[in-house]
Amino acid sequence: MQRKLAAQLAIQSGLEVVSFEHFDCLVFERSETLKMLSPHSRRMLGGRPQDRRVEGDLIVIFKEDLERLRPPSKRFKFGDFVTFMPTANFPSTIAGSAIVEGEVDQDFLGKIHELLKALPDSKAEWISKFGEDFFSRTPTDRCVATVRYLRARE
């Protein structure tokens, strides 16, 4: 189901899909970092079972941490991530997230892109924005710091 949704959103948006061991991601930016959304659908509160919306996780990894699984697999894995944030942390992503006839509003994808674009592209930029100790923090602490940073920009 998750891979199918990622494929549908990729067709709608023209974005690249990267397949990992257990999920697929839409790639919004590719530089020293890959800025991605791992989408999944959730039933809409108060709606019918078929009424669904997209939410997911914003994932940022360094390109150098991307590793292909053994052939013949076309999937990847990564050892560590820079940050990982559920979209539920950003109320602006809720508008337009309803899946209507297999598609979401372009505004939803635009909001996701704005959030990811606001994040640094290089390791030096991450350290400059978030401090020398950023990469030694726990994943949860890195998530909290990046969510605060992005919320201040919304």
Q: Say if CB 66 and CB 95 are below 8 A apart.
A: no
List the pLDDT tens digit at each of the 154 positions of the chain. 899 999 999 999 999 999 999 999 999 999 999 999 999 999 888 878 788 999 999 999 999 999 999 888 899 999 889 999 999 999 999 888 999 988 999 999 999 999 999 999 999 999 999 999 999 999 999 999 999 999 998 7
Q: What is the pLDDT of residue 36?
A: 98
Q: What is the pLDDT of residue 101?
A: 87
Distance of alpha carbon 131 from alpha carbon 125, whole angstroms:
10
Q: What is the pLDDT of residue 46?
A: 83
Q: What is the pLDDT of residue 49?
A: 79
Distance of alpha carbon 118 from alpha carbon 141, whole angstroms:
19
Where do the domains of the chain lie? 2-153
Q: Say if CB 57 and CB 100 are below 8 A apart.
A: no
Distance of alpha carbon 154 from alpha carbon 152, whole angstroms:
6
Cut 0.85: pTM above it: yes
Strands 16-19 and 33-43: unpaired
